Amino acid sequence: MAVTPEQILQQLKAGKYEPVYFLQGEEPYYIDQISDYIEDNCLNETEKGFNQTIMYGKDVSASQIVTAARRFPMMAERQVVIVKEAKEIQDINKEEGQKLLMNYLDNPVPSTVLVFAHKHKKVDGRKPLSKALSKKAILLTTTKLRDYEVPKWIEGYAKDKGFNIGYQSVQMLAEYLGNNLERLSNEISKISINLKEGEEITPEHIQKYVGINKDYNVFELQNAISKGDVLKANRIVNYFAANIRANSIIPMIAVLFSYYSKLLLLHSAKDKSDSGLARAMGLPPFVVKDYKVAAARYPIDKVMQCISLLREADLKSKGVNSGSMPEEEILRELVFKLMH
């Protein structure tokens, strides 16, 4: 049965455990979250000594896993078998190994909780094992969040931890940490232990506890470019250029490309009301005003030109038609052209 991470965790927290969990896909955060929860909570500390088995895929075959799963618990209601790095199981891609796992799925031991942590990869959907898992196990398939989905995830995670977080703070985290959910959750948790419940996570907190400079970051560079503040933009570019290894141009280009793409959506939108533009750009309504100001500076033909400049800079940053031009000079040239 295919389910979401939230559904699985809700059931686990209610004390409802299923015989087989197969957790697979590109996003390891949810796989670790679920397998760690089962490892930490399914059994008490006394029961774990005899009834919890942790295996690693590269060290075991399907036969060894099934043998462990068919054991009965000792002085406990259930036993737990967790297979980490399950994509490395010695014969998981062989017909014999898959048949053994499918036979177990046909008749799992009710007192065993068997967990496969199959990170960074999916079982071949054309194979019979994939079909058997979708019908006879709790099957989770994870995918990496797309860039535009990250801000919403950050807001939700902060809220779940009991904290508010403003738009600028969300953007700072999203721009510098990307869609690495493990790192995002760790950094937000690091901030939260220093705040009182219900407090708002501010750019100052992010600078202090995460190390992202609230004045010198791509979000502030974007603001400076959009407002035509050449002095501020140059100051930020010089800051980045002084330590280009820690401030790679590639993620900056991605952020600025997203920004100009939203301006393009603004110019193309039929509904020019704040709520209509917010829907079109996928942004909260209160930031639409800033985009309207920028749109007055950047008519649609200029936006198209800027997008072309960003693509050109992206190629140069990857060694295409750049000669020996260093990355900091590519950045300086890009910002100059975007503003003139």
- pLDDT tens digit string along 8-18? 999 999 999 99
Long-range contacts of 132-136 (CB under 8 A, 24+ apart): 132/101, 132/102, 132/105, 133/22, 133/105, 134/1, 134/2, 135/1, 136/20, 136/105, 136/106, 136/108
Q: What is the mean pLDDT of residues 126-154?
A: 92
Task: Check whether residue 291 and residue 310 sit in a common domain.
Answer: yes
CATH number at residue 288: 1.20.272.10
| Model pLDDT, residue 247 | 83
pLDDT given at position 284: 80
Cα(284)–Cα(279) distance, integer angstroms: 8
| Count of CA atoms in the C-beta half-sphere (13 A) of 185 | 13
Q: Rounded mean pLDDT of 107-131?
A: 95
DSSP letter (8 states) at residue 2 = B
Say how far residue 200 (Cα) sits from the centre of its chain. Answer: 22
Give me the numbers of helices (H) and strands (E) for the chain, helices first please. Answer: 17, 7
Residues 292-303: tens digit of each pLDDT: 999 999 999 999
Shared-domain flag, residues 13 and 121:
yes
* CATH assignment at residue 44: 3.40.50.300
% of the chain beyond a pLDDT of 70: 99
Indicate if the pLDDT at residue 322 is higher than 80.
no
pLDDT at site 26: 95
The CATH number linked to 172 is: 1.10.8.60
Residue 84 has pLDDT above 70, yes or no: yes
Instruction: Determine the structural domain holding residue 133 and report its residue range.
Output: 5-142
Q: Which of 3, 17, 28, 277 lies closest to 144, judged by CA?
A: 28
Given this model, what pLDDT does residue 230 score? 94
pLDDT digits (tens, 9 = 90+) for 143-184: 999 877 888 899 999 999 999 998 889 988 987 888 899 999
Tally of domains within the chain = 3
Indicate if the alpha-carbon torsion angle 123, 128, 131, 132 is positive or negative. negative
Residues 116 and 160 in one domain: no
pLDDT at 287 over 90: no
Across the range 59-81, mean pLDDT stands at 96
Residue 171's pLDDT is what?
Answer: 85
Which of 94, 109, 142 terminates a domain? The answer is 142
Q: Does residue 259 carry a pLDDT above 70? A: yes
Q: Rounded distance, CA 331 to CA 248, Å?
A: 9
Q: pTM, whole model, 2 decimals? A: 0.76
pLDDT on residue 248: 86
Q: Which of 209, 235, 256 lies at the terminal end of a domain, its last residue?
A: 209
Q: Is there a single domain that holds both residue 136 and residue 155?
A: no
Out of 78-82, 243-247, 316-320, which region has the weakest mean confidence (pLDDT)? 243-247
Q: Do 29 and 80 fall into the same domain?
A: yes
Residue 245 has φ and ψ, to the nearest 5°, of: -65, -35
Q: How far apart are CA 72 and CA 74, in angstroms?
A: 7
Residues 70 and 123 grouped into a single domain: yes
Give SS3 for 74. coil
Residue 55 pLDDT greater than 80, yes or no: yes
* pLDDT at 64 (0 to 100): 97
Closest CA to 222 of 184, 278, 263, 177: 263
Q: What is the mean pLDDT of residues 178-197?
A: 92
Q: Who contacts 309 (Cβ-Cβ below 8 Å, separation ≥6)?
A: 334, 337, 338
Percent of the chain past pLDDT 90, that is, above it, reads 72
Burial profile 147-169: b = 16 or more Cβ within 10 angstroms, e = fewer:
beebbebbbebbeebebebeebb
What is the structure's pLDDT at 2?
Answer: 67
Q: Are residues 251 and 316 in the same domain?
A: yes
**Average pLDDT for 248-261:** 90
Residue 122, Cβ density class (10 Å: 0-12 exposed, 13-18 middle, ≥19 buried): middle
List % helix, strand, coil for the chain (3-state, nearest 5).
60, 10, 30
Note the residue count of the chain: 340
Q: Under a CB-based contact definition with an 8 Å cutoff, are residues 174 and 212 in contact? A: no
Shared domain for 174 and 130, answered yes or no, is no
**168 shares a domain with 123:** no
pLDDT score at 51: 97
Answer yes or no: do 159 and 225 share one domain.
no
| Span of 60-64, 176-180, 223-227 with lowest mean pLDDT | 176-180
pLDDT score for 311: 94
Residue 235, pLDDT > 70, answer yes
18 and 134 part of one domain? yes
Half-sphere exposure of 262 (CA within 13 A, CB side): 22
Q: What is the mean pLDDT of residues 84-104?
A: 95
- Is 60 in the same domain as 151? no
Boundary of a domain, candidates 142, 173, 199: 142
